[in-house]
Copies of this chain bind each other. A is one copy, B any other.
Amino acid sequence: MDGIAVRSEDTWGASEQKPVTLHDFARLNTGNVIPAGYDAVIMIEDVRMTGEAAVIRKAVSSWQHVRPAGEDIAESEMIVPSGHRIRPHDIGALAAYGFVDVPVLTVSIGIIPTGTELVPAGIRPLPGQVVESNTVMAKAWLTSLGATCRSYPPTPDEPAQIRAAIRNAAAENDIVIVSAGSSAGTRDFTAQVIAEIGEVLVHGIGIKPGKPAIIGRVESVLVIGMPGYPLSALTVLREVIVPLLSRFGLPVPDPVILSAELTATLYSDVGTCEFVLLSIGNIRDRWVAVPLSRGSGVQMSGVRANAFLRIPDELEGYEAGQTVPVELLVPRSHAASALLVTGSHDPSLDHLAELVGAGGVFLHSSHVGSMGGVLALKRRSCHAAPMHLLSPEDGEYNLPFLVKYLPGEEVTLVCIAEREQGIVSRDHLSLPELPGHSFANRQKGSGTRLLLDYRLRELGIDPASIPGYDRELTTHIGVALAVKAGEADAGMCVYSAAQALGLPFVPVGKERYEIAFRTADGDDQRMQALETAIVSSEFREVLSHLGGYDTRETGVRRQVP
């Protein structure tokens, strides 16, 4: 306390009626050591100073407002025992008690990339080559959890070289991770090599992705075979390797789990624990979970996911609408700021994500086609649905479909842009020229497909005359890529997708690309951020740069009914 140090016996008898005047005392500030000879402190507010004397009106007991030495910690006492995770305030305490260097536990992990086809990150791979990125992910992850990681140079698919690499890494680390080569393919030697120089404990785990994982040991060193597909590697890291770190004493963050309503039925094999990446979002206090692509080669599913679902091995899956426990991959506040946009794909959605992202809103878009978006909006499994659905009856866009599928509901449409659809090809093909040329189509229910079917009918062209008409891709860019790669002669997409890949484009028509949401959700902060982004000058510049967009209607609202 700020005040005066006194001898308590000098204060005895003091009262309002009978003040005591002290001559022997010492001024103190909070935290000062009490000078020898004094045994109590009186707050400065309770003292009246008169010249060199102090007048008090209340007796004090000994050791009043005096904290004992060693109340915090004393010589010979232990600050933290072994196994204690040193947190920031522990660092503060250690510093306060004189410790500026503390030896700490670490787990040393050696990471060996294998594969003759690997090139390091930053080098553009030639056809048949693969960028070595899984060990980059593993190192970033394990280092962030407190492990000390050593990356070894890539090892070609040669048993002798893999053997030497594992032996060398096992001599220098507590755990060795061998990236790729763990499958049963002709060039997968990891399990064989571990068996030769140590012991394979497990080869193949009932998880998906990640099934080909290996757990083995070379003497006392754990050797883990991490599969090569990025999402398999991610899953094995999370489900096998990170829990191991916990057993080694490193603190692993607790999972954050919440209940969400699944938007699609997921089938799973009994006997395999399957992990499905999700985009989750909160719609009117209800968590909704949209499953992402389950292909283990689709690395972007991991990037796009903000949560995942574990389907236990005893279940055959979960049904759409079921409430399931999902584990977050982002802070909860980020998940709460997710804006679920489900429906028709357009390259400009990425840029809307960029614009709202700067303001703390996370736009998650699922490309299920315009009709898929209408149905998702109807089921309340998205916030907003981008669409371009041409009504064959009246040539009107979008409105008739909302009236039909969400009868009686108040829905708002905001125009993103009017955009040009057309035929993408390597040879300037036009719509009437399609018969006889191989084609990469969009999925049924997409607005592009509807438009194409409509125009072919107008022209009297039989889709059966176009080979590949049944091959369905889900994005404009996907169609343009198939054309560029020579897998198809032509496809239909928006101008910006053709332009992005430098391909010729022959216009078919202009259409109204709008985003629909329930009018009542218009005051949601995330929807407002989206509308602000749509009408911003930055977005107009983006559209003009992408090309093929007419922005005269951009931002125009329409109401249903």
The chain A residues found within 8 Å of chain B, CB to CB, are 2, 29-33, 36, 39, 62-63, 67-85, 87-93, 95-100, 121-122, 124, 127-128, 130-134, 136-138, 140-141, 144, 183, 185-187, 228, 230, 233-234, 237, 246, 249, 251-254, 256, 293, 295, 297-300, 302-303, 328-334, 347, 350-351, 353-354, 356-363, 468, 471, 473, 475, 477-478, 480-482, 485-487, 496-497, 500-501
Given A31-B297, A482-B69, the answer on whether A98 and B477 have CB atoms closer than 8 Å is no
Q: Smallest CB-CB separation from A33: which chain B residue?
A: B127
Would you give the shortest CB distance from A71 to chain B, in whole angstroms?
A: 6
Q: Which of B68, B77, B100 contacts A473 (CB 8 A)?
A: B68
Establish whether residues B122 and A251, one from each chain, have CB atoms under 8 Å apart when the complex forms.
no
Establish whether residues A121 and B137, one from each chain, have CB atoms under 8 Å apart when the complex forms.
no
Provide the bound-state CA to CA distance between A224 and B2, in Å.
23
Known: A67-B297, A74-B481, A100-B121. 10 other contacts (CB 8 A): A2-B186, A74-B478, A75-B477, A75-B501, A77-B347, A83-B358, A92-B299, A93-B133, A95-B122, A252-B331
Provide the bound-state CA to CA distance between A171 and B362, in Å.
32
**Residue from the set A68, A98, A295, A356 with the largest chain B CB neighbour count within 10 Å:** A68
Provide the bound-state CA to CA distance between A230 and B72, in Å.
11
What are 28 inter-chain pairs, A to B, with CB distance below 8 A?
Answer: A29-B186, A31-B297, A63-B471, A67-B295, A70-B481, A71-B298, A74-B500, A75-B500, A76-B477, A76-B497, A78-B350, A78-B351, A81-B353, A83-B360, A84-B357, A85-B334, A87-B329, A88-B140, A88-B144, A89-B141, A89-B230, A92-B230, A92-B299, A93-B133, A93-B299, A95-B137, A96-B133, A246-B333
Q: Smallest CB-CB separation from A481: which chain B residue?
A: B70
Q: Which of B298, B303, B347, B482 contacts A80 (CB 8 A)?
A: B303
Establish whether residues B358 and A71, one from each chain, have CB atoms under 8 Å apart when the complex forms.
no
Establish whether residues A92 and B134, one from each chain, have CB atoms under 8 Å apart when the complex forms.
yes
With a CB–CB cut-off of 8 A, which chain B residues contact A334? 85, 251
Would you give the shortest CB distance from A246 to chain B, in whole angstroms?
A: 7
* Secondary structure of the A contact surface, majority rule: loop
Would you give the shortest CB distance from A189 to chain B, in whole angstroms?
A: 14
With a CB–CB cut-off of 8 A, which chain B residues contact A134? 92
Provide the bound-state CA to CA distance between A79 and B300, in Å.
8
Q: Which of B187, B468, B482 contacts A29 (CB 8 A)?
A: B187
With a CB–CB cut-off of 8 A, which chain B residues contact A122? 95, 98, 100
Establish whether residues B92 and A133, one from each chain, have CB atoms under 8 Å apart when the complex forms.
yes
Provide the bound-state CA to CA distance between A334 and B480, in Å.
53
Given A98-B124, A124-B98, the answer on whether A81 and B350 have CB atoms closer than 8 Å is yes
Q: Smallest CB-CB separation from A361: which chain B residue?
A: B83
With a CB–CB cut-off of 8 A, which chain B residues contact A362? 83-84
Would you give the shortest CB distance from A557 to chain B, in whole angstroms?
A: 25
Establish whether residues A96 and B487, one from each chain, have CB atoms under 8 Å apart when the complex forms.
no
Provide the bound-state CA to CA distance between A137 and B474, in Å.
51
Q: Smallest CB-CB separation from A247: which chain B residue?
A: B360
Closest CB pairs A-B (n = 3)? A92-B137, A76-B500, A88-B141
Q: Smallest CB-CB separation from A131: which chain B residue?
A: B96
Provide the bound-state CA to CA distance between A77 and B348, in Å.
9
Q: Smallest CB-CB separation from A130: which chain B residue?
A: B31
Q: Smallest CB-CB separation from A142: which chain B residue?
A: B88
Establish whether residues A78 and B185, one from each chain, have CB atoms under 8 Å apart when the complex forms.
no
Given A74-B478, A81-B357, A82-B358, the answer on whether A91 and B136 have CB atoms closer than 8 Å is yes
Establish whether residues A253 and B90, one from each chain, have CB atoms under 8 Å apart when the complex forms.
no
Would you give the shortest CB distance from A1 to chain B, in whole angstroms?
A: 10
With a CB–CB cut-off of 8 A, which chain B residues contact A254? 256, 328, 331-333
Provide the bound-state CA to CA distance between A136 and B92, in Å.
6
Q: Which of B83, B185, B253, B303 contacts A357 (CB 8 A)?
A: B83
Provide the bound-state CA to CA distance between A130 and B92, in Å.
13
Provide the bound-state CA to CA distance between A25 and B334, in Å.
49
With a CB–CB cut-off of 8 A, which chain B residues contact A97? 131
With a CB–CB cut-off of 8 A, which chain B residues contact A361? 83
Q: Which of B31, B33, B127, B353 contacts A78 (CB 8 A)?
A: B353
Q: Smallest CB-CB separation from A141: which chain B residue?
A: B88
Provide the bound-state CA to CA distance between A144 and B185, in Å.
42
Provide the bound-state CA to CA distance between A249 and B87, in Å.
23
Would you give the shortest CB distance from A469 to chain B, in whole angstroms?
A: 11
Provide the bound-state CA to CA distance between A347 and B70, in Å.
13
Establish whether residues A347 and B76, one from each chain, have CB atoms under 8 Å apart when the complex forms.
yes
Provide the bound-state CA to CA distance between A85 and B330, in Å.
8
Would you give the shortest CB distance from A393 to chain B, in whole angstroms?
A: 34
Given A128-B33, A332-B254, A350-B78, the answer on whether A95 and B295 have CB atoms closer than 8 Å is no
Establish whether residues B32 and A249, one from each chain, have CB atoms under 8 Å apart when the complex forms.
no
**Residue from the set A31, A32, A293 with the largest chain B CB neighbour count within 10 Å:** A31
Provide the bound-state CA to CA distance between A532 and B67, in Å.
37
